[in-house]
Amino acid sequence: MRVFILGGDGFCGWPTALHLSKLGHDVVIIDNLSRRRIDLELGIESLTPICTIDDRINAWFEVTGHVIRFIELDVARHFDELTSLLVEEKPDSIVHFAEQRAAPYSMKNSRTKNYTTFNNICGTHNVLNAIVEVQQNIHLVHLGTMGVYGYGHEEPVPIPEGYLDVQIRTSDDRQITDSIVYPPNPGSVYHMTKTMDAQMFQYYAKNDNLRITDLHQGIVWGTQTRDTSLDERLVNRFDYDGDYGTVLNRFLMQAAVGLPLTVHGTGGQTRAFIHITDTCKCIEYALMNPPSAGARPTILNQMAEARTLSDLAKDIQLITGCEIDNLPNPRNEAEENDLVVRNDQLRSFGWKPTLMEDSLFLEVTEITQRYRNRADHSKIQCISYWTKHTQEQQTINQ
């Protein structure tokens, strides 16, 4: 099939583009390269030395003979160009990664809150609007987040796949059952945009019969896939800074350079995790199993395992002997939560998740050890605060 990968130059998009290209799909990456510009704005760099997008796709052709095309386009700002591309290229599917995805960056200041909201909401709406405009039967696969659910409860109540069965008492006192979208409970401006995306998917599936799959993905860890390991020029990005670095990769990098692991608060927060290789596989499964036109959006919980941050830190300490620092939490989040997640659908497609215990720590440790000298230690601290009050408190304490 012909697949558009919006955001295909990013951490999840690049290995997914290679994976789908290797499977024989005609892959077109559409990206405005904003993530590379944010690196410059924040004075940060991927731990791994990533090539330009042109060098990346040339290397992929040289190594495998597969062609990936690249088109530079801002999907949030250029609706007409996006629509024309759909008319010219007639993709069968679109995988939509093209959003500002860091919660800390989205909370940094009023400008980054506005940017994240504009970019994510207008981008997603433009994609939906363009599919309707061209009247093509395109399947949209969107990368959403586990964070739309708000990470469970104090009790271990399973989070269903997007929809919750509820019992409602009617006005004539009967009990009926219904299935509603799971109540959203975002924990940052970034996560809020994802809950708003989800509303737009409900609307466009209902009103225009669009075929939509929303993947509620957990925190992605790891760097390389089999495809990105084929050549140094194909290496995936690895973010470790206080805004874009996600927790497990940050911990692995901190251990590699001999710094204490930066656990926020008690570390009692439970989060869902998935390895980057599985991100690619799950997207392949989602593309192969589209909903029918007229159906409500399919929602799949794309996660492999749930762990508390303190357990993760202890596991890494066991492997590396590193120290652990329990720091004041810059975020406004529950200190502890349970997280039990249903993901029967992805597993029914045949997915067997990669788990942390399957020696994959080794793979990431190798990457962090190999590139440890590129780490800028001054960029590790998290300096985006969720509330002005937290910011003031932490400034006084320093």
Phi/psi of residue 177, each to 5°? -110, 150
Contact pick of 233, 264, 281, 307 for ligand USQ (by CB under 6 A): 264
Would you tell me how many other CB atoms lie within 10 Å of the CB of residue 91? 22
Applying CB under 6 A, does 9 fall inside the site for ligand NAD?
yes
Residues 6+ apart with CB under 8 A from 109: none
Cross-strand partners of 299 = 214
Tokens standing for residue 175: 């009990």
Applying CB under 6 A, does 297 fall inside the site for ligand USQ?
no
Q: At what angle do helices 13-22 and 53-64 cross, to 10 degrees?
A: 30
What is the x/- site pattern for ligand USQ, positions 120-159, by CB under 6 A? -------------------------xxx------------
Residue nearest to ligand NAD (CB): 10
Q: Which of residues 9-68 bind ligand USQ (CB under 6 A)?
A: none
333 touches, from ligand NAD, ligand USQ, none (C-beta below 5 to 8 Å by class): ligand USQ
The answer to whether 194 is a known catalytic residue is yes
Cross-strand partners of 69 = 28
d(C-alpha 124, C-alpha 99), whole Å: 8
Q: Which of residues 69-128 bind ligand NAD (CB under 6 A)?
A: 74-76, 97-99, 101, 119, 123
The answer to whether 108 is a known catalytic residue is no
For residue 370, what is the enclosing H or E element?
helix 360-371
Contact between 250 and 260 (Cβ < 8 Å): no
d(C-alpha 8, C-alpha 365), whole Å: 25
Q: Which of residues 227-256 bind ligand USQ (CB under 6 A)?
A: 246-247, 250
d(C-alpha 216, C-alpha 194), whole Å: 9
Query: In angstroms, what is the minimal distance from the CB of 197 to ligand USQ?
Result: 11
Q: Which of residues 240-269 bind ligand NAD (CB under 6 A)?
A: 246
Of the candidates 115, 151, 190, 204, the residue annotated as catalytic is: 190
d(C-alpha 86, C-alpha 93), whole Å: 10
Applying CB under 6 A, does 161 fall inside the site for ligand NAD?
no
d(C-alpha 49, C-alpha 235), whole Å: 7
- Annotated active-site positions, please? 145, 190, 194
Interface positions with ligand NAD (CB under 6 A): 6-7, 9-13, 31-35, 74-76, 97-99, 101, 119, 123, 143, 145, 217, 219-220, 246
Interface positions with ligand USQ (CB under 6 A): 101-103, 145-147, 218-219, 246-247, 250, 262-264, 269, 271-272, 309, 329, 331, 333, 382
